[in-house]
Every structure is written in structure tokens, then in C-alpha cells.
Amino acid sequence: MYNTATAHDVLLPIGKVCEILSRSKASIYRDIDRGAFPKAQKLGRSSRWRLSIVMQVVEGTYPPESPDELTSVEGSSTSDSKDTSEAAVAEEGVSPTKEP
């Protein structure tokens, strides 16, 4: 008798992970750097991810390794963006106009 169910400890290469998540390699590695995606297990020179952990990401139940990293990367205050835009205007030599 043949069992068609896939074991949850299957190790997947990056190509299969990209296919399951419908994402690019770059976006997955970016999330690994942010701590929002699990690091790969190394097998020699290749990287593999456990299917069970990839499925946790799909289901939204994968816990980030460091929540502080995610908030510092994702969250930005409006004052920071205002300072950045004022600096860009100053570099261009245009004086910002103030409304009365």
C-alpha cells in the first residue's frame, strides 16, 4: 500500500519554497535578514527549509525570531519621513513654502 501523504519533515530547496509562497528568492532572503522568515538548514553547500515551518509561514503562525527587529524595520514615524523630505528639498535648493 502506497501512502500519498507528505511527511512534514521534508526538507525543501529554495526553488520549492519560492513556489509554495509565490515569492522571489530575494524577498525570502530579505525576510530572513529581518527575522520574519526562518533561516535555512545547511546541508553541505545547499540550504533547505522544513516543510512544516514553511507551512507555518503560509498559515501565519510562524513567530518572528525578534519582534523588535520587525517593528524597527517596518514601523517608521511620520516625523522621520518629514525630516527626510525637508532634507531632500534643502538639497535641491528649493525653499519650502509655508501656508498662511
The pLDDT tens digits of the residues spanning 14-72 come to 999 999 999 999 999 999 999 889 999 999 999 999 999 999 999 988 876 555 545 44
Name the CA radius of gyration of the chain, rounded: 21
Q: Rounded to 5 degrees, what are φ and ψ at 13?
A: -75, 165
Type of residue at 87: A
Fold of the 1-64 domain: Multidrug-efflux Transporter Regulator; Chain: A; Domain 2 (1.10.1660)
Say which residue, 94 or 11, is predicted with more confidence: 11
Look at residues 12, 19, 24, 56 and name the one whose alpha carbon lies nearest to residue 37.
56
Per-domain boundaries in the chain: 1-64
